[in-house]
Every structure is written in C-alpha cells, then in structure tokens.
A = this chain, B = another copy of it.
Amino acid sequence: MQKEKEIQQLVDSLEGYLHQKTKGDLHYSDLSKIFKRIIRLDEERFSEYIKRMPTHILGDILETFNERMLKESLHALSLKKMIGTIKKMDSDDATDLLQDIEELDEELAESILDGLDNKEQEEIQRLKGYEEDEAGAYMQIEFFAANHNETVRETIENLRKLKYSEELENITSVFVIGDYNNLVATVQLEDMLLFDFDKSFKEIISKRPEKYKPRYVNDKEEIEKVVIDFKEYDLQVIPVIDADNYLVGRITADDIYDLLQEMATEQIYNMAGLDEETEKEKNVIEIIKKRGRWLFINLWTAILASFVISRFEGTISAIPTLAVLMPIVASMGGNGGTQTLAVMVRQLALGEIDETNWSYQMTKEVIVASVNGVIFALFIGGITYLWVRDIRMAIIIAIAMVINLIVAGVSGGMIPIILKKFKIDPAVGSSVILTTITDVIGFFAFLGLAEMFILN
C-alpha cells in the first residue's frame, strides 16, 4: 500500500512534467532523483517513463545513472531516440555518455555514433582523443564567440539566433576572436551590457586592452592546473585554445565542481589503497583485484614486521609480557604518523606547500611529534608500571614510544615530499611506506631495548 502510494506520487510528478505543468520546476537532477526511486519500486514504470522523456533532457538524466539504471534505460530506448538524445547534448556530455554506453554495449555505441552526422561524429572523436588528464577532455565545444569587427548589436543578434536554434546555456562571457579565429579578448556580459551597441568590439577593446585580455588554457594542459586557475582567479569560464591558437572550446564552473570533488575522492581513495576509476566502474572482479593488489603489498610489510619480531623470539619466550605490550608502540606510531602524513599530502595537493618551502611545515610537525612523543611516553610508562609493576618495562616502553612517535612524525612528513620529488603522487603508497616504518621501528625499538636492558 505504502509502496503503491509512493509510486503514484512519483508518477504524478513525471506526468506533471510531461504535461508541462511543472516544467519550470523540474531540473534534470530532480527527474534523475525520481527515476532513481522508481527503479527500486517498479521497473516497468521506470522503462515506461524513460521512453517518454523528451530528448532535450534525457541525455542529462542518463548521465546521472549508475550502470544498472543505464543498462535498463538502453534496453527500453530505441536507437532512434538515443541518436536524437545524443544530438541534443553538449559535446562533452555526449562524449561521456557515449563512453559509458560503449562500456556496456560496444555495438550499440557504434550504431549511435553512425547515426550522427559527420560534424557531430568528428567532434566526439576529437574529444575522445584527449587524454584523461588533459583540459581538452573536459571542455565543451559549444561556446559563444564574436568576431572583433562585429558591433555589439550584431553580436547580440547572433546570440539571439543561436539561443533559438541551439541549446546554448550558461553564457557569461563573449569570446572575441580575430581574423584568424584566434582569441583576442574575453568580454563579460556584465561589461558588454554597458557598451555602446553601435561600436565594434575592436574599437571598444582597443581603449582598455588590459581589461579584456583573455585568460585561457591550452587544450593539452593538465586539467588539475586548470582547476587551480579557476580557484585562484575566481573564474566562471575559461576559453580553451589549441596549439595553433584557435579557440576550440570552453570549460565552465560546473565542470570544476565535478572535478574538485573527483580529485578529492581520488585522494581519499589513494590514501586508503583504493583505485578511484575501478571503484566507480562497479565491476566486482576488478575491485577485488585492485584492492587485493594493495592488500598484497600490505601483507609483505606485515611479514617484514613479523620478521623483526622473530629476531627476538627468545626474548619474548623469556618475557611473554613483551608480546602483550609490543603492539601499543607500533599502533601509536602508525596513528601519529598518519596525522602528519595526511596534513602533508593534503597541503601538497592544495599547493599550500611545495618542494621549496616545506621546511617550515616540517619543523612544526617534528615539534608536534616530539612533544606528543614525550607526553605519551609518560602516559604509557605510567600505565605499564601500574599494570605489570616492572619499572624497567615501564622505562623501556616509554623510550620506545618517544623514538617511534618522532620517527613517525619525520617519516609522515618526509615520505610525501620525497615521493613528490620523484614525481609520484604522494597520496599513493605513502601510507604503506609509513606503517612499514612505524611497525618495524616500533617493534625493533621496544624488543631491542628489552633484550638489552631486561634480559641481560
């Protein structure tokens, strides 16, 4: 009953949208949310309404779907409808969606591509040609440009025509191009509104060329750099040019929102031993493999630590309390080091510190590690004494704790910087190196001191 009611509600919203009653209210994100709820309740209704969605919004909805929902949708939709949908999408989104479809059904992707006209095919092929980390892979080729000889009035007329014929959205700036399709200026609409509409851009720009000097990126530039530019210069859009200085596309704020989140997810995943791309694809076998690879490395570092312990088997056999206490030193080292590591990795990623100015941060980290090392040495010394009533044991664990927490601080700070120097992403692998060090040093310091001062 409850379920029927929920379905009815969702269906009502969709019907409302289809009959234009709520057209202004429902964004593709809202429709996507409705479909995500419907598929859990009633697959048939899901297919029925996916088929009825108009092409101009269907592509945006499909792009938000996970693998299962996309599969279901492709099953329901005709080839003709899919071709129409792709045609209506922005070039960058169309390319992304086609790539998602390709992963599910290569033949279908091929057929859709064949259904597009030559120009559209070329555009998509060009965008697909960019590497994943290149700016070009994130640009859309739909933008609004004006020739510098045009008057503002002519440009506004062109905009009017373009807006009626195409789905060109989010125009905040006009890109002004010269005689060779080269970018000569960027004019924000808020400035253009105040221009004399009968003058040409050339005339207007020549009066204050520095104000309209365009900030741009090259299509082969690293996308991470572009993201940093958006942030530093508070941009809303940036034009993309190719090696010949031709204006070829633009990257907009909404791309940057996605990229910022993706970059953060990637960093969090890397630090935890996960591969972002694999996790996203949701193929369980691949996930098991990639995660397993990481666990495999960890297995060997754990065995290395065991090997260190095995050197002290005789000592442990004589004083089994050592086995009880030894994980404490290693564990605290791992945690303390992880704190420093996280700060360094993140600050490096944000550009707050780099290879030239890390020493200030490093000094701070060593101070923090040393002070906490001493504090926790006193703590654990006291607790150990109260627990096992052995002053030598208490002193030894305290000394091992100071050593390991300082080693942890120094390692946690230096590992990311060293990796960065070798052009390795500091988020990848740094934590496994760190815990190897803190485990080995932790066990070695504690058991070694015990062997020296208690056993003999």
Contacts and interface: CB of A to CB of B under 8 A. Distances in A.
Contact of A194 (B25, B160, B210): B160
A254 B213 CA distance: 20
A209 B296 CA distance: 60
A302 B327 contact: yes
A92 interface: no
A223 to B, nearest CB: 14
A304 to B, nearest CB: 10
Given A257-B231, A346-B268, A210 B273 contact: no
Interface in A193-237: 193-194, 209-211, 213, 230-236
Given A234-B254, A316-B316, A327-B305, A298 B335 contact: yes
A339 interface: yes
Interface string A260-304: 110111011101111000010010100110011011101101110
A320 B311 CA distance: 11
Contacts of A189: 172, 189-190, 193
A78 interface: no
A194 B164 CA distance: 11
A313 B306 contact: no
A376 interface: yes
Interface string A25-37: 1010100000000
Interface in A62-98: none
Nearest to A215: B27
A23 interface: yes
Interface in A19-67: 23-25, 27, 29, 40
Interface in A145-193: 156, 159-160, 163, 170-172, 189-190, 192-193
Contact of A324 (B273, B301, B310): B310
Contacts of A325: 306
A323 interface: yes
Interface residues of A, number: 105
Given A193-B156, A302-B332, A332-B299, A339 B274 contact: yes
Interface stretch (A112-120, A363-371, A416-424): A363-371
A317 B253 CA distance: 64
A342 interface: yes
A439 B190 contact: no
A321 interface: yes
Which of A257, A273, A321, A332 has the most chain B CB within a 10 Å cutoff? A257
Contacts of A29: 232-233
Contact of A24 (B40, B211, B298, B341): B211
A411 interface: no
Given A342-B272, A368-B291, A331 B357 contact: no
Contacts of A320: 313-314, 316-317, 320, 323
A454 interface: no
Contacts of A160: 194
Contacts of A271: 268, 342
A343 B276 CA distance: 9
Given A189-B189, A194-B160, A284-B364, A309 B324 contact: yes
A323 B295 contact: no
Nearest to A363: B284
Contacts of A27: 232-233
9 contacts: A24-B209, A159-B194, A172-B172, A257-B260, A260-B260, A261-B350, A269-B346, A273-B335, A316-B320
